[in-house]
Structure 1
Amino acid sequence: MSNYSIKDLEHLSGIKAHTLRIWEQRYNFIEPQRTTTNIRYYSDKDLKLILNISTLKENGYKISNIAKMTESEMAAAVLKIAESNLRFPDQINSLTLSMIDMDEDRFEKILSNNIIKHGFERAMISIIYPFLSKIGMLWQTGSILPAQEHFISNLIRQKLIVAIDGQYVTERESKGKWLLYLPENELHELSLLFAAFLLRSKKHKVIYLGQSLPKEDLSSVKGIHQPDFVLTTCTTAPKKAEIQQYINEVADLFSDATIFVGGFQVIGQDIKRKKNVEFLMKMEDLNSYLENIDLKYVPHDKNTEQEMRYH
């Protein structure tokens, strides 16, 4: 069972901590437990209840009427909303509930419905990424179990791999060659997989090297592929004390390429970037960037060298 602070509940449900305390006193919705040092904390059951209340309230239910409902009545009403209303916040709440219960059937139903309605790319950007952002902070602070995070991450990873399958782009038709990898000891691969999906869907060549690539291997890869762009994310590695030097070394190694870097170790940190480095605050940034790329290739054959113009 996971333990949550009232700030965790606020973060996941969108309901202010002050309001949660009022509900706690007025309606007895939740009953926090206390540590030996008298710090209040909440259970999975409390989080599920607050998520259900949040969804009902956002869909027109009055809090006084919600207070009269049993937990099973709330759950049934929320399930009906999730199946008929594809508002992004409601779907994110439903995904959170499926993570808490490790309910694969519910997860599959929610995501499949949204992919049919919005398409894979929009479902990822508007639902999956906000959802992952929420649980990512909880995972880092230890508020959720590693098993819960692994459960949901692996389900999303499977969806991404299936979406990428069959998207092969040849160098002849490619708008540019991208090298995608994660630094050594970095295992959080979902953002990288989604970047690969976006790039291939927009006819870019992707050299995908995946998780935990030693830095010394990058030189060999450069000699073979000579990419136009390099993309990596740093969620837990390298360490913050080493990240500036790491980015500088990658930028120098691929001095003729544009380097894209994202992840918790980079965003919001006081990191200086070289001229060929771009920081990705969120995945939409890559999408916007791709829309503005103007790459023109001359078909490559034995007598013609490939040319590129990038603005």
Structure 2
Amino acid sequence: MSTYSIRDLEQLSGIKAHTLRIWEQRYAIIAPQRTDTNIRTYDDQDLKLVLNISLLKDHGYKISEISKLSPEELYREVVSVSERRLTYPDQIHALTLSMIDLDEEGFEKIIRDNSFQFGFENTMINIIYPFLNRIGTLWTTGSIGPAQEHFISNLIRQKLIVAIDGQSKQSATGKKYILFLPEGEFHEISLLFADYIIRARSNKVIYLGQNLPFSELEFVYERHKPDYLLTILTSQPANHEVQPFVNRLATAFPESQILLTGYQIVGQGIDTPDNVMIINQINELVRIATN
């Protein structure tokens, strides 16, 4: 069972820490444990409760009403709301619950229902991608347990690989892209989704995957001379090494446009040489791949 801080709950549920404290003090609706230094800690059941309360509040329930419900009544109300057509934020909450409970069936239902209604790409952009962004910091800081991280990551990875395989059968008539993660970087989900987006628009992808030595990137570059290089920096290189790494990419591959994104890049004040572009939103990559 994982242990969460109040900031973790805020990140995962979207409910402000100040509001969570008010709920605790005014309604006794949530009862965290306390450390020896009086710091609040929460477990999986607390997180599930907060997510379910958030779902009901988003559908018009008042917290004063919710606080009077028994656990059984609360569950019935959540099921009733969930049987309606849920919004994207509701689906993200549901996906978070499936991760906490290691619930593969629940995950499959979310992906199946939304892919049928909106298409796979829109499901990824509007549900999976925001979900990954919401918990990405928690993954890198260890607030989410390794079992939960591996469980949900592998399920999403499986879906992406199947979708990419379907696109790989189409003829590639557009630009050529090399996709890779640098040495020490293993967070591959976003790179796989970039692969799908680029292939879906009839571009050619040379996918090199995670933990790639720079010398191997240079070798492949010389052979293929791509129009674009794309990489995602989530935890590597270290903060002080990011700018030198960006400069090295720009110098080593001057004939290609280099696309960068990830936690170590976006909003970090990185200087971009002329052939380097930072991707702040997934829709920017969609636009580039479409042109």
Asked if these proteins are the same fold (TM beyond 0.5), I'd say yes
Distance of 1:92 and 1:16 partners within structure 2: 17
Distance of 2:83 and 2:209 partners within structure 1: 35
- Aligned to 2:259, the other structure's residue is in SS state strand
1:274 maps to a residue whose letter is: P
2:237 maps to a residue whose letter is: P
Would you say the 8 A contact 1:33–1:42 is kept in 2?
Answer: yes
1:26 maps to a residue whose letter is: R
Q: How many residues are matched?
A: 291
Alignment correspondent of 1:77 = 77
Distance of 1:136 and 1:28 partners within structure 2: 30
1:44 maps to a residue whose letter is: D
Distance of 1:59 and 1:73 partners within structure 2: 16
Query: How far did 1:20 drift?
Result: 1.6
Distance of 1:105 and 1:170 partners within structure 2: 31
Query: How far did 1:26 drift?
Result: 2.3
Distance of 1:72 and 1:249 partners within structure 2: 58
Q: Does 1:177 align with 2:176?
A: yes
CA deviations on 1:29-54 (whole Å, 9 max, x unpaired) are 11111112221111111111010000
Stretches of structure 1 that go unaligned for 5 or more consecutive residues are 294-311
Q: Runs of 4 or more off by more than 3 Å in structure 1?
A: none
Query: How far did 1:170 drift?
Result: 7.3
Distance of 1:216 and 1:41 partners within structure 2: 45
Q: Answer 1 or 2: which has greater helix percent.
A: 2
- Aligned to 1:137, the other structure's residue is in SS state helix
2:144 maps to a residue whose letter is: I
Distance of 1:170 and 1:72 partners within structure 2: 50
Query: How far did 1:153 drift?
Result: 0.7
Query: How far did 1:111 drift?
Result: 1.5
Would you say the 8 A contact 1:177–1:227 is kept in 2?
Answer: yes
C-alpha change, 1:187 and 1:203, in structure 2 (3 Å) is: same
Would you say the 8 A contact 1:4–1:42 is kept in 2?
Answer: yes
- Aligned to 2:166, the other structure's residue is in SS state coil
Q: Does 1:286 align with 2:285?
A: yes
Q: Does 1:102 align with 2:105?
A: no
Distance of 1:220 and 1:55 partners within structure 2: 51
Query: How far did 1:256 drift?
Result: 0.8
Stretches of structure 2 that go unaligned for 5 or more consecutive residues are none
Alignment correspondent of 1:190 = 189
Query: How far did 1:277 drift?
Result: 0.3
CA deviations on 1:150-187 (whole Å, 9 max, x unpaired) are 1101100000001111312677x421000001101111
Alignment correspondent of 1:243 = 242
Percent of aligned positions that are identical: 55
Range that drifts further, 235-244 or 205-214? 235-244
Distance of 1:20 and 1:80 partners within structure 2: 24
- Aligned to 2:168, the other structure's residue is in SS state coil
Q: Does 1:209 align with 2:176?
A: no
Range that drifts further, 258-267 or 59-68? 59-68
Instruction: Provide the aligned C-alpha RMSD in A.
Output: 1.6
Query: How far did 1:249 drift?
Result: 1.5
Range that drifts further, 180-189 or 140-149? 140-149
Distance of 2:272 and 2:213 partners within structure 1: 21
Q: Does 1:137 align with 2:142?
A: no
Distance of 1:73 and 1:104 partners within structure 2: 25
- Aligned to 2:272, the other structure's residue is in SS state coil
Range that drifts further, 232-241 or 133-142? 133-142
Range that drifts further, 266-275 or 60-69? 60-69
